[in-house]
Amino acid sequence: MTNFTGLDLAQPLLRAIAEEGYDTPTPIQAQAIPYLLEGQDLMGIAQTGTGKTAAFALPLLHRLSKSGGREDGRAPKRAARALILAPTRELAGQIYACIKTYSRHMGLRSAVVYGGVSIRGQITAMARGVDILVATPGRLLDLMNQNFVRLDWVETYILDEADRMLDMGFAPDVRRITAALPKQRQTAMFSATMANTVRGLAESLLNDPITVEVAPVATTVERIDQRVLFVPKAKKRALLAELLNGDDIGRVLVFTRTKHGADAVARHLERGGVQAGVIHGNKSQNHRERAIKGFSSGRMRVLVATDIAARGIDVDGVTHVINFDLPNEPDSYVHRIGRTGRAGAVGTAISFCDIEEKAYLRDIEKTIRQSVPVFEDHSFHCPVIASDPGTTRKKQDGRNGANSPRKGGNNRNRKPQWKRNNARKAA
């Protein structure tokens, strides 16, 4: 497949695609779109930045442009013909924006619902029914419980970033939502990984699915210039300020492990005269949207974020990703650095690693199947930390030693309740 015209999509879709300057489908698009156009269930394994949103949005819009055999094809009040679930507000917003872009010549109605904003506008948007509803699980269940949304007309059901959905504790919500859908439907799941939990969910939701897998982790990170700097924790802020003074650093995403850490880094940069936005789960949706808008417009050169809040950010021209804290989940590293080096551009990822994070680095290198080059020539590089084997942390709940249980408690296989609640609030 060399261009979109060979995919036999509706003319209004091809027109919108051409207006966006797209010509050649990405591998996930070329492989997934034909199966989805045929109405088959599909399991798509693809990393962020591979074009997977268009891979499910284009065939969905093509199928909805037909009546689907249901009178004039319009959904009744409070209903939707297609449902797309996303784990975070930002990702839901990104998907909705893509849907609006691709369907600009099609006369279809769409809506997006997520927490952190007033529910009234979302109730109004759903009142007369929509063709496509993009939602986060928590807010969708709120609307369903108040009878403002009905799902009995859904023909196509899509779960995006299923691995993240499960990581955030949304499995019970997903199952409740799925139970309200018609048995006869097309279902597609997309995930960056095929962990056992994802495989189990796929087996329960998909009917004789086609599996499409592209861009394994190792090949995803190969196009990004990765480096690690071994540095004491106390010197990380000074190192960040120095790096940001470099002429080659343009638009920068800085990742921290905690919300408190993100706020502290942003305040430090502001005091040093660097305009920086910050997003995490405790920030209001309006604040998060303003921060992303300022970052994408170039008004702010730096955006500091936690993993959950940054999921779904798709900003062009990010030259650098800086891991101020290494993530304690190796897959998060891949998602983080995938925010740069997009659409064939060159990207750079720099990670700060103190002695306590060396175990995280080892897990990351196992996951990406390569060693991250050490930035030895930098003045902040600490050879003592580099040569130290580091603390071996016990893995727990998929994280390396984070929030170990107190003595006397058998919490080994249970994610703390407050963690689950905070993850759900972030959506």
For residue range 383-401, what is the model confidence (pLDDT) as tens digits?
A: 999 988 765 443 333 333 3
The residue among 163, 170, 182, 168 whose CA lies nearest residue 140 is 170
Say what the pLDDT of residue 307 is.
Answer: 84
pLDDT per residue as tens digits for the range 346-363: 789 999 999 999 999 999
The residue among 264, 276, 283 whose CA lies nearest residue 426 is 283
Say what the pLDDT of residue 215 is.
Answer: 61
Instruction: pLDDT band for 46, please (50, 70, 90 cuts).
Output: confident
- Cα dihedral 362/365/371/377 (nearest 10): -60
Please state the length of the chain: 427
Output the CA–CA distances (angstroms, integers) from residue 390 to 267, 271, 360, 362, 385, in the order listed.
30, 33, 10, 10, 8
Say what the pLDDT of residue 309 is.
Answer: 61
Q: Is the pLDDT of residue 261 over 80?
A: yes
Helix-helix angle 120-127:137-145, to 10 degrees:
70
Output the CA–CA distances (angstroms, integers) from residue 271 to 11, 60, 257, 315, in the order listed.
53, 48, 21, 25
Q: What is the mean pLDDT of the chain?
A: 85
The residue among 51, 42, 67 whose CA lies nearest residue 1 is 51
Residue 35 φ/ψ, nearest 5 degrees = -65, -40
Question: Are 320 and 102 in contact, with CB atoms under 8 Å apart?
Answer: no
pTM for the model: 0.67
Say what the pLDDT of residue 86 is.
Answer: 95
Q: Is the pLDDT of residue 219 over 70?
A: no
Domain with CATH 3.40.50.300 in the chain: 4-215, 218-392
Question: Average of pLDDT values for 225-235?
Answer: 95
The alpha carbon of residue 391 and the mean position of all alpha carbons in its chain are separated, in whole angstroms, by: 30
* H helix or E strand, kind and range, residue 309: helix 307-310
Class of domain 4-215: alpha beta
Looking at residue 12, the DSSP 8-state letter turns out to be H
Beta carbons within 8 Å of 377's beta carbon, 6+ residues apart? none
Least confident of 45-54, 86-95, 103-112: 45-54
Say what the pLDDT of residue 399 is.
Answer: 39
Q: What does CATH list as the number for 218-392?
A: 3.40.50.300
Residue 381, helix vs strand vs coil: coil
Say what the pLDDT of residue 301 is.
Answer: 92
The residue among 347, 321, 348 whose CA lies nearest residue 336 is 321
β-partners of residue 67 are: none
Report the alpha-carbon distance of residue 250 to residue 315 in Å, rounded.
13
